[in-house]
């Protein structure tokens, strides 16, 4: 009994472990990359960023303290793997994480301070639609999906990532009940939300971005499951999903190919089954503990730095490493759900719920896809995959979640202050 035992409950211990992992990992890669100092700079940048953000978060009382810890564990694993695959990816990723960190704080403060988010559903809808239209006109096709926009030759981004957030905010307006007036005096919000969902899904079909369709539509379904008292709507939407899915399977070549590859990638292994079979080879070669960083051959996996990075994690860090990543994502989802449950403002509750479902589903869909548990749909793994849009949007969403968490916490102590004031006045 005494202070020693208390130390083990400290918040610092996991942080030390994270630092240890990064230190060992980047030193190892330093060896692997012929003592290229850039590796060490990258590692130092990850650590500096972690310490800065975590300290600001804790001292600034910016809500939940666990999520950022786990997010940085994922980021560390991701950057280690990216550096190992190709140093230039790791280096650029760090820049994106830096931008992401800034966006995190901006999103936090903007969301925290602005109070009218729940009134702006039409802006979210218009914004999302505009992004879609821009993509359709200017978009580039990458990996079969027309969902990229390039500005000049340097910056390219996926507008659908931003649309997801706008979509969640829009749905939250309706779910929280703050959007109660019928549109054009006729269309009730629940039907308007339905129409908006189907419009967005329709745009995504044109872009052939199946993964995002799956995420968005699931968010909508979960949202109406939780909030819509009219159960018929949920049932009808599930029926619609099944019917559309079956029609897609029957008539859309892209979906047929995906299903066929999922059922049997081996029969067309050198063409359509190539991606998934290479991913499975990588996972199968890792065993429980992996080959060790730098010992495997992840470069055989196509798109290994983005969609398929989980396969590389399994190859070099083992199935246990993969399971750890799954666990971390689950714990993050758990904390976010908790924030959503604790939130008192209905709009905050709905937004945090939507963002959480988005994180969780995105993780499930891509990890399930690369392990061939479910059909593969290209989508990035939040905080781990290489990519500016993915990282920045993930951090922005996290900023919103933290803001909601902080609001709840300060509401608690705010209530306490009010009570004390009343007590004093009585006196």
Partner 1 sequence: MTVYSFISTILSYVFTVIIYVFIIFVIRLIYLDVKKMSRFEDNSIADEACASLRPTKSRTEPTHPLKRRYNIYGEAVIGRSPDCDIVINEGFVSQKHLIIWFEQGEWYLEDLGSRNGTSVNGKRILNEVILDPEDVISIGGLNFVFET
Partner 2 sequence: MNVNKRIIRVLVVIALLFLALASYLLWFNMFRAQSVYTNSYNRRQWESEQKIKRGSIYSSEGELLAETEIGSDGSRIRRYPRGRLYSHVIGYSSQVYGKTQLEMTRDSDLIGKGNIGLTIGDIRPGNDLHLTILDYLQEYAYDQLDGRHGAIVAIEPTTGQILAMVSLPDFDPSSIEEDWEEIMEDPDSPFLARATRGLYPPGSTYKIATSAAVYENGRTTETFDDPGVFKKGDVEVSNYGGEAFGSIDIKTAFEESSNYVFCSLGYEMGADGVRAEAEKFGVNKDIEFDIPTSKSEIQYKRMTDLDAALVSIGQGGLVMTPLHVAMMGAAIANGGRMMKPYLVETVTTENGTVIGQTRPSVLYESAGAACAAYVQDMMIGVVEEGTGTTAQIDGITVAGKTGTAETESGEDHSWFVGYAPAESPRICVAVLLENNGTPGGRTAAPIARNIMRRFLNE
Q: Contact residues for partner 2 (CB under 8 A)?
A: 222, 225-227, 266, 269-270, 277, 280-288, 296-297, 300, 314, 319, 322-323, 326-327, 329-330, 333-334, 337, 340-341, 346, 349, 353, 357, 360, 363-364, 367-368, 371, 373
> Which of 162, 199, 244, 324 touches partner 1 (CB under 8 A)?
324
Binding mask 395-414 for partner 1 (x = CB under 8 A): -----------------xxx
Contact 112, 406 (CB under 8 A): yes
Q: What HEC string does the chain produce?
A: CCHHHHHCCCCHHHHHHHHHHHHHHHHHHHHHCCCCHHHHHHHHHHHHHHHHHHHHHHHCCCCCCHHHHHHHHHHHHHHHHHHHHCHHHHHHHHHHHHHHHHHHHHHHHHHHHCCCHHHCHHHHHHHHHHHHHHHHHHCEEECCEEEEEEECCCEEECHHHHHHHHHHHHHHHHHCCCCCCCECCCECHHHHHHHHHHHHHHHHHHHCCHHHHHHHHHHHHHHHHHHCCCHHHHHHHHHHHHHHHHHHHHHCHHHHHHHHHHHCCCCCCCCCCHHHHHHHHHHHHHCCCCCCCCCCCHHHCCCCCCCCHHHHHHHHHHHHHHHHHHHHHHHHHHHHHHHHHHCCCHHHHHHHHHHHHHHHHHHHHHHHHHCCCCCCCCCCCCCCCCCHHHHHHHHHHHHHHHHHHHHHHHHHHHHHHHHHHHHHHHC
Q: Which of residues 78-107 bind partner 1 (CB under 8 A)?
A: none
**Quick one: 177 or 294, whose CB is closer to partner 1?**
294
CB of 419 to partner 1, least distance (A): 6
Q: Which of residues 15-34 bind partner 1 (CB under 8 A)?
A: 17-18, 20-21, 24-25, 28, 31-32
Interaction partner, residue 17 (partner 2, partner 1, none; CB < 5-8 Å by kind): partner 1
**Quick one: 135 or 352, whose CB is closer to partner 2?**
352
CB of 396 to partner 2, least distance (A): 21
For residue 4, the tally of other CB atoms under 10 A from its CB is 7
**Quick one: 50 or 157, whose CB is closer to partner 1?**
50
Q: Is 369 in the site for partner 1 (CB under 8 A)?
A: no
> Which of 10, 52, 143, 180 touches partner 1 (CB under 8 A)?
10
Size of interface with partner 1, in residues (CB under 8 A): 56
Spell out the residues 6+ positions from residue 130 whose beta carbon is closer than 8 angstroms to its own.
none
Cα separation, 89 vs 305, whole angstroms: 8
CB of 23 to partner 1, least distance (A): 10
CB of 292 to partner 1, least distance (A): 3
> Angle at Cα 98 formed by Cα 97 and Cα 102, nearest 5°?
110
Cα separation, 150 vs 33, whole angstroms: 31
Interaction partner, residue 133 (partner 1, partner 2, none; CB < 5-8 Å by kind): none
Contact 118, 176 (CB under 8 A): yes
Q: Which of residues 43-82 bind partner 1 (CB under 8 A)?
A: 58-59, 66, 69-70, 73, 77
Span near partner 1 by CB under 8 A; candidates 203-211, 361-369, 371-379, 419-427: 419-427
**Quick one: 103 or 314, whose CB is closer to partner 2?**
314
> Which of 95, 106, 242, 327 touches partner 1 (CB under 8 A)?
327
CB of 412 to partner 2, least distance (A): 17
CB of 309 to partner 1, least distance (A): 16
> Which of 4, 6, 37, 115 touches partner 1 (CB under 8 A)?
6
Q: Is 128 in the site for partner 1 (CB under 8 A)?
A: no
**Quick one: 313 or 393, whose CB is closer to partner 1?**
313
CB of 373 to partner 2, least distance (A): 5
Residues facing residue 281 across a β-bridge: none
Applying CB under 8 A, the residues found at the interface with partner 1 are 1-3, 5-6, 9-14, 17-18, 20-21, 24-25, 28, 31-32, 58-59, 66, 69-70, 73, 77, 289-295, 316-318, 320-321, 324, 327-328, 331, 334-335, 338, 412-417, 419-420, 423, 427
């Amino acid at each position: 009994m005494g202070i020693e035992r208390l130390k083990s409950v400290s918040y610092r211990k996991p942080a030390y472990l994270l630092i240890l992992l990064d230190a060992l990992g980047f030193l190892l890669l330093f060896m692997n990359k012929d003592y290229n100092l850039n590796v060490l700079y990258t590692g130092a940048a990850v650590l500096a960023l972690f310490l800065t953000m975590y300290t600001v978060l804790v001292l600034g009382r910016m809500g939940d303290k666990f999520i950022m810890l786990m997010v940085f564990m994922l980021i560390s694993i991701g950057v280690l793997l990216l550096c190992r695959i190709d140093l230039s990816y790791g280096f650029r990723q760090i820049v994106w994480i830096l931008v992401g960190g800034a966006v995190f704080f901006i999103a936090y403060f903007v969301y925290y301070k602005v109070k009218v988010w729940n009134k702006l559903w039409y802006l979210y809808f218009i914004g999302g639609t505009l992004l879609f239209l821009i993509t359709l006109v200017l978009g580039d096709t990458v990996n079969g999906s027309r969902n990229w926009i390039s500005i000049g030759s340097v910056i390219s981004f996926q507008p659908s990532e931003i649309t997801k957030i706008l979509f969640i905010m829009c749905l939250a307006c309706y779910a929280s009940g703050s959007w109660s007036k019928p549109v054009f005096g006729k269309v009730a919000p629940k039907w308007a939300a339905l129409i908006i969902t189907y419009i967005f899904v329709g745009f995504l079909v044109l872009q052939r971005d199946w993964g995002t369709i799956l995420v968005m539509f699931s968010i909508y379904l979960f949202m109406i499951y939780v909030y819509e008292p009219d159960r018929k709507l949920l049932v009808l939407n599930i029926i619609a999903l099944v019917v559309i899915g079956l029609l897609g399977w029957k008539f859309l070549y892209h979906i047929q190919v995906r299903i066929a590859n999922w059922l049997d990638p081996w029969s067309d292994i050198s063409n359509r089954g190539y991606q998934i079979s290479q991913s499975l080879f990588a996972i199968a070669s890792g065993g429980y503990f992996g080959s060790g960083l730098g010992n495997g051959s992840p470069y055989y996996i196509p798109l290994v730095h983005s969609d398929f990075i989980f396969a590389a994690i399994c190859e070099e860090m083992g199935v246990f490493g993969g399971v750890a990543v799954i666990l971390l994502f689950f714990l993050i989802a758990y904390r976010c759900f908790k924030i959503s449950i604790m939130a008192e403002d209905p709009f905050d509750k709905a937004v945090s719920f939507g963002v959480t479902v988005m994180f969780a589903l995105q993780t499930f869909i891509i990890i399930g896809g690369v392990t061939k548990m479910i059909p593969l749909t290209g989508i990035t793994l939040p905080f781990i995959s290489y990519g500016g849009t993915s990282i920045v949007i993930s951090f922005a969403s996290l900023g919103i979640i933290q803001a909601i968490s902080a609001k709840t916490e300060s509401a608690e102590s705010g209530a306490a202050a009010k009570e004390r004031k009343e007590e004093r006045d009585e006196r």
